[in-house]
Chains A and B, each alone.
Chain A
Amino acid sequence: MAHLALQSVTKSFGSLQIIHGIDLEVGDREFVVFVGPSGCGKSTLLRLIAGLEQPTSGEIVMDGKNVTGVPASDRGLAMVFQSYALYPHMSVYKNMAFGLENAGLPRAEIEQRVTRAAAMLRLDDYLDRKPKALSGGQRQRVAIGRAIVRDPKIFLFDEPLSNLDAELRVAMRKELAGLHAEIGGTMIYVTHDQVEAMTLASRIVVLRSGRIEQVGAPLDLYNRPNNLFVATFIGSPKMNALPAEVIAMDAGGTRLAFGEGNTLVLDGAIGGVAAGDTVTIGIRPEHCELASDGPADCEAVVEFAEQLGGETYLYCSAAKLEQLTVRQAGQHMKTRGDRVRLSFPQERLHLFDAQGLALRHGHDAAQRS
């Protein structure tokens, strides 16, 4: 059982405040992913949990006990570092056994635990090798193995896949998901890659500049982002954000003007805005539709097209609209300079106010059907 709670935790380095009061609870067996752009404080937050840094204020509570002042070695956590941090002068076996030796476990148990972890991670054949004789993926597995053998209360991962090539990263991602299913520990994982966050997490914590922007299950964040930052950060390619103005709001609906002379009408009134307010319309690339002959909401010019076979990405622009990304299933033979007519199904539209806070969410596919 491992339950972790952060209570208004802050961290400053000198006069520079990195973490601005974080409150967060992590339940037992959860896989929580901290995601955010670089410099958002996600690694610092992980190091605070690990005990490698001391918070400037606030408390860290683990299983009901305040561990804020407890040194890293006594917190019973294990961490996988971005650089793997394998001890270069020790063999794979020694690397994995080091923590257990320090804990004073009997030799037989150390051997049993290391052998079991090595089998789980397919490292049996490499136990006598030094880290420098291993490939990137193998080193990564040793680093994970070093954490597993400890049987820690919480596993901490600091961007563990960022040094691997794309293919290996996908493979390791699957292995990590499998590992969590198999050993079922509590895991906290830091990444800047929203795909890793979406695929691994049971809950995602989106961070920006040392503050939590939103916490939720991956699809909740995707479907109901609290604000424009989360909306554009989660999802790839990112959500289109179209600056717009509320022209009128009456019984006929809310009229929005965007781009050059384009209008959209949303059913009903929207709380929090009045005619004349500046808003942002959000629409995900996969929700933009190519209107063949019916009415269109916007006309744009293709700047660049990516044909992936199964799907097509069109990067378009229109007057006063910087970039509009369209993702269509199947193959659409469009090239640079082609004019496309786009329609935005209104049930898919998100709306954000001038401060970027969400006013309205589009419905996800499940809700619609």
Chain B
Amino acid sequence: MSIATALTLRRGRGRLHWTDLASYAYLLLGVVLMFGPVLWLGLSSFKTQAGLLEFPPSLLPTSQKEVSVSGYDKPLPLFNVTLEDGSTRVLAQARRIGLQAQMIDPAEPTKIIRVALDKRIPLRETAFAWSNYTEPLRQFDFMRYLGNSVFVTVVATLITLLINSMAAYALSIYEFPGRNAAMVGIIGTLMIPITIILVPVYLVITWLGLVNNLWAVILPGAATPTGVFLLRQYMLTLPRDLIEAARMDKASEWQIYARIVLPLSLPALAVLAIFSVMWRWNEFLWPLAVLSKSESYTLQIGLNAFQGELQTQWNYLLAMTVITLLPIAVVFVFLQRFIVAGIANTGVK
């Protein structure tokens, strides 16, 4: 089905059925709710610092039109001016003195016209402040932060998948006393928020000498109860016959894990990989606690640097937020096709 047919699908033949209208309205609401903030972020990241603080806010990034006039070093802002005789002209403002502005016509720069401030309206145009992107990339060690973030995300996700799948294998394939108790214990840790264990974990990390090391970010969260739970539930649905057939085929437990269970759990692993990438990429509190030197910052911590005690450089912050969002969006687009369950059941019956 092409995108065009998908977008114009409807129930009514010929005329629109009321359910068509209702479902499109509902879908539209969903689109606005979900993409509205992202669109706002994207457009705002191109606004200047002044444009961001403007009231009323505009959707598109705008800036005042300027013109260079001979005799003036800097470009002068352009205004629509209503003159005393009632006519309007476009004039450039040379300087402001009290409630009066000295305006000049760019065509004849020598003649100064005095205009009251309330008689002029700034001339605006849509302008993208690309400098929001270029400036911080130059000043701010973006590539290093990106590298740190990628390292943390990739390594932590691989470790998470490995450890969690092994735990899930044991908890789903083996029958042993205390299996359910172990599972309940793992699920129970979901109820403990990071803020509670922040200090003890920090002490452990200090004791291991890992402060300001990226491994301090990777290791504590490598085994996630959510991941173990997700993978275990999926592995429980794998036919027992397959495991037993592999045992009859002289496969060792490691071979069953690596060659039978892991490939068949691919849909669940993909889901966990997506989650893990998102968690790790967006993780903030824990890296903020253990990473204090700027060379070990991840992107999220780097972004925090734009937020000063007295002033926040919103324009840079927004632009870098957009850059930070892009990799995760790409990952999601590529991995989502793996979230198709049911590969496991095709060999049975």
Q: Are A52 and B346 in contact (CB under 8 A)?
A: no
Chain B hits for A81, CB < 8 A: 241, 244-245
Q: Taking chain B's interface residues, is the majority helix, strand, or loop, or is none over half, making it mixed? A: helix
Asked if residues A50 and B248 are in contact (CB atoms below 8 Å), the reply is yes
Q: Which residues of B contact A132 (CB under 8 A)?
A: 346-347
User: Would you call A83 an interface residue if the criterion is a C-beta within 8 Å of the partner chain's C-beta atoms?
Assistant: yes
**B164 → A minimal CB distance (Å):** 20
CB closest chain-A residue, reference B253: A73
> Mask for B223-259, Cβ within 8 A of A = 1, else 0?
0000000000000000101101111111110010001
CB–CB A102/B344 < 8 A: no
Chain A residues near B78: list those with CB within 8 A.
none
Q: Which residues between 263 and 295 of chain A lie within 8 Å of chain B, taking CB atoms?
A: none
Pairwise interchain contact A88-B249, C-beta atoms closer than 8 A: no
Give the CA-CA distance A172 to B274 in the complex, in Å: 46
| A73 & B250 in contact (Cβ 8 Å cutoff) | yes
Query: Does A85 lie within 8 Å of B346, measured CB to CB?
Result: no
The residues of A that contact B347 with a CB separation of less than 8 Å are: 84-88, 131-132, 139
Least CB separation from A98: chain B residue = B249
Proximity bits, B306-349, A CB within 8 Å = 1, else 0:
00000000000000000000000000000000000001111111
B63 shortest CB reach to chain A, Å: 57
Q: Which residue of A lies closest to B347 (CB)?
A: A88
A87→B260 contact, CB < 8 A: yes
CB contacts (< 8 Å) of A89 on chain B: these are 263-264, 343
Q: Does A11 contact B (CB under 8 A)?
A: no
Chain B's closest residue to A150 (CB) is: B249
**Inter-chain residue pair count (beta carbon < 8 A):** 83
Nearest B residue to A103 by beta-carbon distance?
B250
B248 touches A73 (CB 8 A): yes
Query: How far is B251's CA from A72's CA once the two chains are assembled, in angstroms?
Result: 10
- B348: which of A73, A78, A84, A102 is its contact (CB, 8 Å)? A84
User: Which one of B264, B343, B348 lies within 8 Å of A83 (CB-CB)?
Assistant: B348
Say whether, besides A102-B255, A131-B347, A132-B347, A87 and B248 are in contact (CB < 8 Å).
no
Instruction: Give A189 Cβ to nearest chain B Cβ, in Å.
Output: 16
Q: Which residues of A contact B249 (CB under 8 A)?
A: 73, 98-99, 102, 146, 150
| CB pair A87 B242 closer than 8 Å | yes
- Of all chain B residues, the one with the shortest Cβ separation from A88 is B347
Give the residues in chain B near A99, CB-CB below 8 Å: 248-251
Is A163 on the interface with B (CB-CB < 8 A)?
Answer: yes
Chain A residues within an 8 Å CB radius of B343? 88-89
A82 cross-chain contacts in B, Cβ below 8 A: 241
Q: A237 at the A/B interface (Cβ < 8 Å)?
A: no
Nearest chain A CB to B145's CB is how many angstroms away?
39
**Which residues from B are CB-within-8-Å of A50?**
244, 248
Contact: B248 with A78, CB < 8 Å? yes
Q: Which residue from chain B places its CB closest to the CB of A95 in the assembled complex?
A: B347
The distance in angstroms between the C-alpha atoms of A72 and B239, with both chains bound, is 18
Minimum distance in angstroms from A15 CB to a CB of chain B: 17
Q: Name 29 A/B residue pairs within 8 A (Cβ), A-sorted.
A: A72-B247, A73-B248, A79-B244, A83-B241, A83-B348, A83-B349, A84-B348, A86-B245, A86-B347, A87-B260, A87-B347, A88-B343, A88-B345, A88-B348, A89-B343, A98-B246, A98-B249, A98-B251, A99-B249, A99-B250, A99-B251, A102-B249, A102-B252, A102-B255, A132-B346, A136-B349, A146-B245, A146-B249, A163-B349
Closest 4 CB pairs of A and B: A88-B347, A99-B249, A85-B241, A85-B245
